[in-house]
Every structure is written in C-alpha cells, then in structure tokens.
Amino acid sequence: MRDSSTGSTGNTAHPSRRTVLAATVGATAALTIGGTSYAAPDDRHLRTLISRMTLEEKVGQLFVTRVYGHSATAPDQADIDANLKELGVRTAAELIAEYRVGGIIYFTWAHNTRDPHQIADLSNGIQQASLEQPRGLPVLISTDQEHGIVCRVGKPAALFPGAMAVGAGASRSDARALGRVAGRELRAMGIRQNYSPVADVNVNPANPVIGVRSFGAEPDAVAGLVAAEVAGYQGSEVAATAKHFPGHGDTAVDSHYGFPVITHTRSQWEQLDAPPFRAAVRAGIDSIMTAHIMVPALDDSGDPATLSRPILTGILREELGYDGVVVTDSLGMEGVRTKYGDDRVPVLALKAGVDQLLNPPSLAVAWNAVLKAVQDGELTEARLDESILRVLRLKAKLRLFREPYVTQAQVTGTVGIAAHLAAADRIAERTTTLLVNEGRLLPLSRRTHRKVLVVGADPASPSGTTGPPTGVLAGALTELGFTATALSTGTSPSGTTIAKAVAAAQDADAVVVGTYNVTATSAQKTLVEQLVATGRPVVAVAIRNPYDVAQLPSVPACLAAYSWTDVELRAAARVIAGRVAPRGRLPVPVPRADDPAQVLYPVGHGLSYRR
C-alpha cells in the first residue's frame, strides 16, 4: 500500500527514545539537500526537496490527522487500541513512519492535551519521529483554540473570552493582544497552526454551529477584529486560520450533522460574508479553512464549498488573490460526505484547490484514494507539488526547519504566567454586556443582597472551565464579599427542580440565574418567571447566546457573558458586584421573541453604571 521507505516501524516506544529526545530538544535543525543544510530554505530549496520526494511521501504531506495519546511513543493502552482501530497504527510515531503525514491536529478527546508540559513533550516526540525519517520534515501541529466555548488546551494556559465577547468589547487592540498572548503560549507547547479566528458573520440568530464563535453580525466590525487577531497570532509565529470560507454565518443547519445551504445572492455574499475574508487576506493570513456548505450563487453544481473549484480557485485564489494554505474543515463531518464517498472527497478537494486535507474519517481510505488518483492520471504530481510547496513554505516561515523543538523552560516561562492571566481578565472585563437593569438593581449591594443564590444551567464544560458555571459564579461572588451558594438546575429543569430553586430563593437576598439558549417553551423560562414571582431580586446571566433576554421579559436585570468559561463568568461576577462597570455592547441584534423580524435590542446596545 505504501512505499517501503515509509513502512511501519512497529512499536517505537523503546527505552532510549526519551533519552535521545532530551538530548535533541533545544538543538537546531535544518533541511538537508545534497549534503547541504538550509536553516531557512527558500522556494528554490523547497522545490528541490519536493523533486526528490517519492509519490507516497508527497501524498502524506497533504494530510493533517488526529492521533490518540499523550505521548508520541508510549500512549496509554486505550489510546493504542483507538489508534489501531481508526488508523491502523499504535502510536503517533508509527503513524508518521507509515503515512509521512504533514500535520497532526490535537484534540482534548484524543487525550493530546492533558497539561502544557505534556503537550510540549508530545510535540517534541512527534517532531523527532518525523525528522528521523528519510527526507525528514517537521510536522505542522495544529489545534482549535478559538477561546470561549471552543478550547482544546485548558488551564493552566491563559484562556480568553470567545469571539462574540471580543466583538462586544469592540477593541481591535484587545483582539490583537489575545492573538499575541495565545499565540505565544501555543508556540511554547509546539503548536504552530491555530484554526482561529472564526471569520463568519453571524447574521442568523438560529445558527446552531457558529453563534458566539463569531465576532458579530456587522461585516466591517468582524473584518477589523479578524485582521487584528490574525496579526496577533502571526506576530507570535503561529499560523492563524480564517474560517469557514466562503462564510458559515447564515445557516440553521450544523455542518457536522447535515449539509447547510446558504441562499445569499452574489451581491449579498460580497456585502455580508466576504469582508472578513478579504481583510484576512490583506492581513497576510497564513491559512484559510473551507466550509462544508452549499452556496448556489457562487457554485450551482450542488457541491459543498470544500469541493468547489469555482469557489476555492475561482473566488478565493483568483478573485481574492490568496496564495496561502487552504485547509479543509474536518473531512469526517456530514456536510462534506452527503454527496460523495470518503474515497472521492479528498481527491475532489485537491482538484478544487485545497492544500491540506484535515482529519479524514479513514486515513487509509483517503491516502490511498489520492495515491490512486495520481497513478490513474486524475491528479498530476505537479498539482500535488503546488500544495506541498505552500505547506512547506508555511513551515519555513514558522521557522520549523530551524526550530522544530520546544523546551520545558519555554513552557514554564510562557504558559499561564501571571501577566497573561491578567491580560485575559482585563479583556473579559471590557466584554460583559448589561442588557436590562430595571430600578438600577445592579450592582448588587453587599449590605442588602449579601446572601446570593446562584442557579441555572450547567452545560458540558469546555476546557476553559474549572467546574460547573453555577459553582464558578458562586465562588467568584463569594470572593467579592457575598455569601453565595450554588444550585444547578440544568438546561431543562423539571418541576421538582424548579420548586427546589424557588424554595431556596426564599432564604436569599438576591438570585443570579445562568441561562443557556432559552426558547419560548423552555423550562428555563419557567424557572426564571417563578423566581421573579418570589419577589426576590433576580439577575439573569446569558452564558451563551445573548438572545436569551428576549425570552425573559419579566427579569429585572440581565447580562450577556457570551460563554460559561471561567474568565467570562468571573468578569460577569465583578460587574454584578460593581467592582467594574459593564462596558460591552451587543455585536449582534437581539430580535423580539414575538416577532423575530423586529429588533428588540440593536447592535451597540449596552447599559452601564458608575462604579
């Protein structure tokens, strides 16, 4: 199946590897061609290297895949079993020897991201395994560290507000600082490509997959924040990735589970969806991720954008003038698998203009399909060479040929340091948005509202949390001088649970309730209404979408936190306690609950008060 020079090495977890790695880390590396080393190869050197690669090596360089385990050579047995089942290899080192993949993506669920020091060791192990191969090349290690509700690397790393919260802060300086600090931390752990920022303009409140991952609903505002964050990341030598081209902001279907259709006209696309991607290109974005969506106005073939040559080559390459790396969204998502089989998808993506094929459901099927397409003449080696050159050019720009390894000292001196944590808190304080404040209920007084009950939804925690939102909010309020207790009521509280919360409210001076995607028929709405009926002051905190406020007309005070991560909940607590004044402004309009065509709160709405 594969060239013999890249065959499996078997179990590579031999005792000497850690010693070898320890001796290697910190040393410089260089690309060697014809006996000459190049620490910073240019296109001529890279083309020479490509000309000497086997076809099998070329195919491998196009793939970015998952791999299970905290170690490149000695993962836990459960991760070995998962690797054997899904990838046909035992370890990351075997994966590289077998397929010569150009990139690896880290996931929390793949057990790649236990803690920063472990991540650095894993990154070094992956790099060593690849550099030991014939024509050894550094691996481009990536992850989805959007911050907010999508984080793969958790504490003690610095975790920032998500995109919509940053949109509420409306500060390009903050967006740039976020990218700069987060980029430094990722780089210290050996992660050199981040699939962020989200460049989608969220114009559909019903969007189930983008939502608060977007900076907002105003194209120009989103464009400015995208460009600023790109500058921050890439200034820290981490490749930023604008996603999801040509724009995933106006859909009611999640492309993980279905095939969305965007009905924007070409003119609407130019006005609504294109500006952030144009801004990213002008900012020198290193990579752009495709969307598994159909946009008939851009390509009426019925193909997803990931497989569309008119969209990826005609618009992105030729019209927008982009010549960086184009990476697919995960090829395991349903949106790209509804029309073609898993053997056709990677071939069609390359024909459309893609450079990196991300996380196919079966690497063996996808790898062999591309190999066969070249052997059969459907794809040319020259076409592969174009993409490989872009990928290698990016690796050279990121100095991976010169500095493929990281050190534990870099991790200790960079990841989660006090200055970075303080920066995250400062940015978060500028994002919390006060939507309603009847009778100037907020800020709460420690004299008259000393006993606070915190109830509400406790959704599954992203990596940016240390516990359930109710507990985090209660803990933060207690630290600020209140006596706060937490009672989780969930996203669908039962009548019994609601009654328990109402009874507990009788002993409180005020109630804070965290809401999560409230609908007209949601039991969360009933919970809030019954809490308000107790006569106790009630403060609602929308811990995801700010649209919740439209369903809660009886609540006297409402904040939008845009996420249930610690940094945003702590900021909301400081606003509730009056330690900081709310400064956020809505980056999306909130439609009326009874007439969604009408706006209840416009973009820019946000109340404040003096400290």
Q: Are strands 483-488 and 557-560 parallel, antiparallel or unpaired?
A: unpaired
Catalytic, 329? Answer yes
Distance CA 140, CA 100 (A): 12
Residue in 4, 5, 7 with CA at minimum distance from that of residue 98: 7
Residue 168 buriedness (CB in 10 A; 0-12 / 13-18 / 19+): buried
Which residues partner with 5 through β-bridges?
none
Name every residue whose Cβ is closer than 8 Å to that of residue 431 and which is 6 or more positions away in sequence. Answer: 161, 165, 166, 168, 169, 562, 568, 571, 583, 584
Contact 101, 95 (CB under 8 A): yes
- Centre a 10 Å sphere on the Cβ of residue 447 and count the other Cβ atoms it contains: 7
Contact 281, 272 (CB under 8 A): no
Distance CA 356, CA 540 (A): 44
Residue of 45, 254, 256, 425 with catalytic role: 256
Contact 112, 122 (CB under 8 A): yes
Residue of 329, 458, 548, 566 with catalytic role: 329
Which stretches within 67-171 are classed as H helix?
A: 77-87, 92-99, 116-131, 163-169
Handedness of CA 455, 458, 464, 465 (dihedral sign): positive
Known catalytic residues are: 256, 329
